[in-house]
Amino acid sequence: MYEEIRKESLKTLLRSCRKGLEPQRMGLPPKQHRRSEGLSQEDAAHLAGVSVRWWSDLENGLQTPHPEMLDAVATALRMSTDQRADLYFLAVGHTTTAISTAPVQAEPQDHELVLRAHPLPAIVTDHVGNVLARNTAAVAYFPDLENSHDTPNITLCLFEPEAAERILNLGELRALRIAHLKAMFLRHGAGPTAVDVIQRVLALPEAALHWKTERATVNHTVFTTHVRTAEGAVEELTWAIAEFTNGKQFLIGFPPRALS
């Protein structure tokens, strides 16, 4: 599963970047009978100064390229800063941190951290989103945190029926969290905690569909929720994510006025 996720995510990234570029605007001569939109592998290889075979191997996850080669690929595809980060992560840097395969347990400082954040909503999770600590304000934005008898998972909460009733930008959040889950699996390894969460994701039809279509991305440090309150109003919150060396993550939500 590990290599499958990495290779498929890398292929999706490179193909989507190629598809988004028009050959003529890249200075390439027009070709008759183009079979697809955007740049072909041949076009991209030409712009990067590599062979078509090398490019094909890269897209299929068969290359371990030097950073200089990745620079050429990113430049040829006009990649954004976030896309470049994902390219390096998926091509050469997908095993950057090692953590214990045992489940991460909540510690006193986790509870202290979320309590200190009040009245802002705050959550501490392990590397795959299992909630270790949360304050009462966070429940309004992730309702299933209060209802779950087992250890809740922040990604799986988004696929509960109550989330569909309360969260207005649910599709966007589901895609972001699944992409992030894939990246954490690649970064920290296939321990039993990660495997358990992925199996639970694949058991839910809507979550499994996102798993199939979303690529791993490391650029998931901020996201926004639009939640309908019990009174019918819509509240917007921007969440910042900090990751610790042991894989734990601290999520805290800010209203728009607090960031202006």
| 45 located within any domain | yes
The CATH number of whichever domain residue 230 belongs to comes to: 3.30.450.180
Report the percent of the chain where pLDDT is more than 70. 89
Same domain, 141 and 255: yes
- Mean pLDDT of the 165-189 span: 90
Domain end: 36, 56, 91, which one? 91
| 103 located within any domain | no
Burial class (CB in 10 A: 0-12, 13-18, 19+), 196: middle
The CATH number of whichever domain residue 68 belongs to comes to: 1.10.260.40
| 98 located within any domain | no
Same domain, 135 and 254: yes
| 97 located within any domain | no
| Tens-digit pLDDT profile for residues 219-238 | 778 899 998 887 888 889 99
Q: What is the pLDDT of residue 259?
A: 43
| 39 located within any domain | yes
Q: What is the DSSP string of 192-227?
A: HHHHHHHHHHHTSHHHHHHHHHPPP-S--SEEEEEE
Same domain, 68 and 154: no
The number of residues making up the chain comes to 260
Same domain, 25 and 130: no
With contact defined as beta carbons under 8 Å apart, do 131 and 151 qualify? yes
Query: What kind and span of H or E run contains 253?
Result: strand 249-254
Compute the mean pLDDT over every residue in the chain, rounded to the nearest whole number.
86
Owning domain of residue 220: 108-259
- Greatest C-alpha distance within the chain: 66
Q: How many domains does the chain have?
A: 2
Q: Quote the tokens at residue 142.
A: 């992730």
For the chain, how big is the Rg over CA atoms in Å?
A: 20
Q: What is the pLDDT of residue 229?
A: 80
Report the percent of the chain where pLDDT is more than 90. 51
With contact defined as beta carbons under 8 Å apart, do 216 and 249 qualify? no
Same domain, 143 and 241: yes
**Cα–Cα distances in angstroms (integers) from residue 203 to residues 57, 191, 198, 200, 208, in the given order:** 32, 19, 9, 5, 7
Give the three-class secondary structure for 68.
helix
Domain end: 59, 91, 123, which one? 91
**Which neighbouring-strand residues pair with 236?**
226
pLDDT band at 258 (very low <50, low <70, confident <90, very high): very low
| Tens-digit pLDDT profile for residues 61-99 | 887 888 888 899 999 999 998 898 899 889 886 654 545
Other C-beta atoms closer than 10 Å to the C-beta of 3 total: 10
| 101 located within any domain | no
Same domain, 180 and 124: yes
**Which neighbouring-strand residues pair with 234?**
228
Same domain, 114 and 56: no
| Tens-digit pLDDT profile for residues 122-148 | 999 998 999 999 999 998 788 777 765
Domain end: 61, 91, 121, which one? 91
Residue corresponding to tokens 């949360």: 134
**Cα–Cα distances in angstroms (integers) from residue 105 to residues 56, 133, 241, in the given order:** 43, 10, 19
| 163 located within any domain | yes
Same domain, 33 and 147: no
Same domain, 237 and 115: yes
Same domain, 141 and 81: no
Same domain, 207 and 87: no
| 96 located within any domain | no
Same domain, 35 and 123: no
Q: Quote the tokens at residue 235.
A: 């509240």
**pLDDT: is 259 or 32 the higher one?**
32
With contact defined as beta carbons under 8 Å apart, do 44 and 15 qualify? no
